[in-house]
């Protein structure tokens, strides 16, 4: 689960981290009133769950009330498209009005989980405000990774390492205090990412996070009740939101072949296979390890709303659930939701012969295949026609 910038800064503030004065506004006149209270200059920051806002016009510096009025009116209701948002972009519904900060230097830091070493990695850079992936490729010497043992936590020698790398020796104590609080948030809130970009050294000599990005582990939300209550469903795809209510794992993608699979591993392999066959997966849809007629029906209902599909590929392994029951569910779902698209079906596992017999007898627009090579040829033909 991704948090908005203002939500992440609330967590920092609760932990005692110094951040610029700010408030969220929900319409242009409110942004103007907030800016008058805070004092100029201020930053207007679109609150959308994506990176790259500054390059797409989602961050503006305003030195007067007139500029706040002008930019806030342009920003509210606009669709912000970045390299991370997808081609449809995200609608701006709220803006963070924040006191502008004068600073001498900017840095990058983040805490992430390093699964290869089963540790927490602290990534720091001498340059902030840039995409760390590009920076590590073009200037690897300016990026450093520090591994933190989760059993011992963030220690003074970690702070000294950071201070030495960033040439901030006089700030070692402040670095230990600040990063210790950020590390505590990362662990206690069960984050998968906590990114500060940029972290700035102000003209007054303080280290202040100007922008924060926090991702919470979805599997931990059952314990993070307060964070779960703050989930912004308006930022999510409507079909993805609906799928959650039926325990379907659905993610919308930009493709032309719909996927319905049971099991995340099989789903990932199926998406790779569709790409190899010349198509593009339109979604990730895992109907669960036990695919029932109800989950299959809900899955087809969601897929049927995508007008860009050329076909639907159903790849089901009958383990606990029997293939003949899966076949009944497919027939019922395609009838109920009036699916006219070609449906490519590959069943394997228990009672597969009975399932295939039922599907053949339905006389629907089904392409029954026994292996992925046959499915590849059909997908290739449908995509190129």
Boundary residue ending a domain (77, 100, 123): 100
Q: Do residues 337 and 300 touch, judged by C-beta distance below 8 A?
A: yes
- Average pLDDT over the chain reads 90
- Asked if pLDDT for residue 233 goes beyond 90, the answer is no
Residues 87 and 108 in one domain: no
Over residues 292-317, the mean pLDDT reads 87
Output 144 or 243, whichever has higher pLDDT: 144
- What's the number of domains the chain is made of? 3
Residues 204 and 301 in one domain: no
- Asked if pLDDT for residue 13 goes beyond 70, the answer is yes
70-74, 117-121, 306-310, range with the lowest pLDDT: 306-310
Query: Residues with catalytic annotation?
Result: 108, 195
Q: What CATH number does the domain containing 33 carry?
A: 3.30.1490.20
Q: Determine the structural domain holding residue 36 and report its residue range.
A: 21-100
User: How many whole angstroms separate alpha carbon 313 and alpha carbon 283?
Assistant: 11
Could you tell me the pTM of the whole model? 0.77
- DSSP, collapsed to helix, strand or coil, labels residue 205 as coil
Collect all residues with Cβ–Cβ distance below 8 Å to 342 and sequence separation of at least 6.
Answer: 310, 311, 312, 365, 367, 378, 382
Q: Do residues 146 and 166 touch, judged by C-beta distance below 8 A?
A: no
Residues 223 and 242 in one domain: no
Predicted local distance difference test score (pLDDT) of residue 289: 66
Q: Do residues 309 and 282 touch, judged by C-beta distance below 8 A?
A: yes
Residues 313 and 242 in one domain: yes
Residues 303 and 220 in one domain: no
Boundary residue ending a domain (49, 70, 100): 100
Boundary residue ending a domain (236, 266, 282): 236
Residues 207 and 232 in one domain: yes
Residues 114 and 228 in one domain: yes
Residues 212 and 266 in one domain: no
Residues 202 and 278 in one domain: no
Q: Which long-range contacts (CB under 8 A, 24 or more apart) does 11-14 make?
A: 11/185, 11/189, 11/214, 12/181, 12/182, 12/185, 12/209, 12/212
Q: What CATH number does the domain containing 132 carry?
A: 3.30.470.20
Q: Do residues 163 and 107 touch, judged by C-beta distance below 8 A?
A: no
Residues 249 and 375 in one domain: yes
């Amino acid at each position: 689960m991704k948090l908005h910038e203002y939500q992440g800064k609330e967590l920092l503030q609760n932990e005692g981290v110094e951040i610029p004065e700010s408030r969220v506004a929900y319409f242009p006149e409110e942004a103007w009133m907030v800016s008058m209270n805070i004092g100029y200059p201020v930053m207007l920051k679109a609150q959308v769950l994506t990176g790259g806002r500054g390059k797409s016009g989602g961050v503006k510096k305003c030195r007067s009330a007139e500029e706040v009025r002008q930019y806030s009116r342009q920003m509210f209701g606009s669709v912000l498209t970045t390299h991370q948002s997808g081609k449809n972009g995200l609608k701006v519904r709220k803006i963070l009005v924040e006191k502008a900060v004068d600073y001498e230097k900017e840095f990058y830091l983040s805490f992430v989980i390093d699964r290869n070493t089963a540790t927490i990695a602290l990534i720091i850079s001498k340059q902030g405000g840039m995409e760390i992936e590009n920076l590590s490729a073009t200037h690897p010497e300016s990026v450093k990774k520090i591994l933190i043992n989760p059993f011992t936590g963030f220690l003074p020698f970690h702070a000294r390492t950071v201070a030495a790398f960033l040439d901030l020796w006089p700030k070692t104590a402040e670095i230990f205090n600040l990063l210790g609080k950020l590390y505590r948030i990362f662990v206690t809130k069960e984050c998968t990412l906590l990114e500060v970009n940029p972290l700035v050294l102000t003209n007054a000599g303080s280290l202040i996070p100007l922008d924060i990005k926090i991702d919470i582990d979805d599997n931990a939300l059952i314990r993070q009740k307060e964070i779960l209550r703050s989930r912004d469903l308006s930022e999510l795809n409507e079909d993805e939101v609906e799928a959650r209510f039926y325990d379907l794992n659905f993610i919308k993608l930009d493709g032309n072949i719909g996927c319905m699979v049971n099991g995340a591993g099989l789903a990932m392999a199926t998406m790779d296979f569709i790409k190899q066959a010349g198509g593009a997966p339109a979604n990730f849809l895992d109907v669960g390890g036990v695919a029932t007629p109800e989950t299959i029906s809900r899955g087809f209902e969601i897929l049927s709303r995508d007008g860009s599909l050329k076909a639907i590929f159903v790849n089901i392994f009958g383990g606990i659930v029997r293939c003949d029951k899966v076949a009944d569910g497919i027939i019922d779902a395609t009838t109920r939701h009036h699916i006219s698209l070609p449906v490519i079906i590959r069943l394997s596992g228990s009672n597969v012969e009975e399932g295939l017999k039922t599907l053949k007898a339905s006389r629907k627009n089904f392409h029954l295949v026994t292996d992925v090579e046959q499915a590849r040829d059909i997908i290739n033909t449908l995509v190129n026609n």
